[in-house]
Structure 1
């Protein structure tokens, strides 16, 4: 059954899905024709954004083969056949991973560290696995290599005193440059609401920018959001978040948004729905006045909330539920590890001399 939904009635995440699907179709049209079958096979199990990422990464792989192989170099990538996958060796995959460390794409120099290599290798492996399981190829070279191993990085978050300092900077703007203060006078109330919301609920930046006016429920102090993975959920907020949102709404109700952005809660200075990039930039702007040693992003504010919630409750399942994690191991990995705090406590416990 078809759903006839006009663009005016689409939610933010639906608009993003629509854009990603159109981009995905455009990228698939540049890939070997057999790739369409693979992408159809994952259409119901992977989000549009994930499939688009796979398409970009798989395209990079075929561009590598086209560039490095003298026989394939004579063909258009669209004309590659499945036989090409059967001819790929383990050495080819190793060379590909080395290639993407630093390569040229349409005149731009691009590079990948371990995280990027692992993502690109996973996309290629997924495609090979599909055709191997369908008995359409007899060799599966990517399955023979070890995925790049990532080093565990310490969780970066704001300490309680840094949270207070950051909120002060957002509210007062004292540490901003003269140019930044000009914009701050126009966006202060909005920015306070955004930063307070991120710190007070732990929602993702995409969830934040996707909030519509009718998603707010002040009677129950809740916000309806669309979670990563496609689940709709209600998250609840405390008094500090409520006060910041209500102060912003008083200002927001006086703004006339441009056509198509009337439903959006948070607006840019151009009176359109604020973008993920804009929120990332404003977080960076305020955070660098608080700490120069930590690279604070909206996701780090999410980590800050998760850590504080775990410290207060000790309930890892509650933290997972509130943050919208589908796998409890993800939560445990990030928030149950209090090794740094334990090491600090150990330093205070041991006494070399008794106090007189």
Structure 2
């Protein structure tokens, strides 16, 4: 679908920019589905109604990748295109075929381009997702009586490393202060970077404060609009994974930096293209900032805090980890932090609380009632 012909007729509470973004992803899903066999149609409906839009897209990408593998790397099908693969071809697939695909082929394969050959490597986390996608497909086809057997029990396990609290990358509280000082006064920036900083420092500061206060996901922040904020009520609205609509409370710091950016730095509405008039964070071209530009911004300022290269700076997700650990360090319960950051499982939040166990140990160790 041409973007020029795309008109939003929006009767939902979602802003138009989110509806358009979701529609673009839906179009990508439909394009992949059109290239897959017709016997998978009911599975497409299952995905549409059971997983998030981003997961649906990821699953479909994995499945068409597997189907291309069947054609180019195996003798399990005589089909010339992925669309022509038959249910009979899938019936011939054994668990060992999937294990070879995931464990051998996917771990390292080559993509030949016109001027180069790219080596693609997948580690266990990526392999586990591919396994999850194919497990979902094969289980559904078995339940839908297209396959006579459920072969997924024969899929090899993929061991994932257990997350370790010490390995979580985040800024310490003093490093957050250095980062905010950098965006406040330009310290640590190159002369070229300072030219842009003079024009965007209030915007950049608002972005960093939002990330480190709420632990927002990149997508949640990038989609924010001016209309997302209700300063009279002291709250703003975000749209989380799986379409969840959430009102977040404003504190004084966040309200201050947002208002300062809007009133003192953001371009006047008259000179902003109609499509971006409501977008909160704008580029110098007066367009909604892209996820890539926000990511680069965060890496730049975090690299100053870490005293490292720009390439080694942290991603927005590391600021999410920073917010979680800082909130717990300030004494908020893991359940409150779980709710604020929208963690599906409290064990995720507990990883950020692990360092407090060491603090408790040090306190007790140095507070002895009985002498040796």
**TM-score where L is the length of structure 1:** 0.89
Task: Call closer, same or farther: CA 1:119–1:71 in 2, change over 3 Å.
Answer: closer
Separation in 2, partners of 1:310, 1:350: 22
- 1:200–1:238 Cα contact (<8 Å) kept: no
2:268 corresponds to 1:268 = no
Any stretches of 5+ residues in structure 2 without a counterpart? 1-5, 368-372
Greater shift after overlay, 43-52 or 305-314?
Answer: 305-314
2:126 corresponds to 1:116 = yes
2:184 corresponds to 1:171 = yes
RMSD: 2.5
TM-fit CA distance, 1:219: 2.5
SS of alignment partner, residue 247 of structure 2: strand
Equivalent residues in 2 for 1:209-248 (5 A)?
A: 209-248=222-261
Greater shift after overlay, 116-125 or 245-254?
Answer: 245-254
SS of alignment partner, residue 50 of structure 2: coil
2:339 corresponds to 1:338 = no
**TM-score where L is the length of structure 2:** 0.85
Separation in 2, partners of 1:73, 1:101: 25
Could you say which residue in structure 1 is the equivalent of 2:109?
Answer: 103
Task: Call closer, same or farther: CA 1:329–1:229 in 2, change over 3 Å.
Answer: farther
TM-fit CA distance, 1:13: 2.3
Task: Call closer, same or farther: CA 1:336–1:146 in 2, change over 3 Å.
Answer: farther
Equivalent residues in 2 for 1:1-356 (5 A)?
A: 6-7=7-8, 10-70=15-75, 72=77, 75-97=80-102, 98-105=104-111, 107=113, 108-153=118-163, 154-250=167-263, 251-252=265-266, 254=268, 256-291=271-306, 292=308, 295-332=313-350, 334-338=351-355, 342=358, 346=362, 349=365
- 1:212–1:263 Cα contact (<8 Å) kept: yes
- 1:85–1:128 Cα contact (<8 Å) kept: no
SS of alignment partner, residue 110 of structure 1: strand
Greater shift after overlay, 272-281 or 317-326?
Answer: 317-326
Greater shift after overlay, 191-200 or 60-69?
Answer: 60-69
TM-fit CA distance, 1:336: 3.4
Any stretches of 5+ residues in structure 1 without a counterpart? 352-356
Q: C-alpha offsets along residues 33-74 of structure 1, whole Å, 9 cap, x if unaligned?
A: 222221112211222221111111111111111111135255
- 1:258–1:272 Cα contact (<8 Å) kept: yes
Separation in 1, partners of 2:135, 2:60: 13
The total of aligned residue pairs comes to 345
- 2:70–2:76 Cα contact (<8 Å) kept: no
Separation in 1, partners of 2:73, 2:36: 17
SS of alignment partner, residue 338 of structure 1: helix
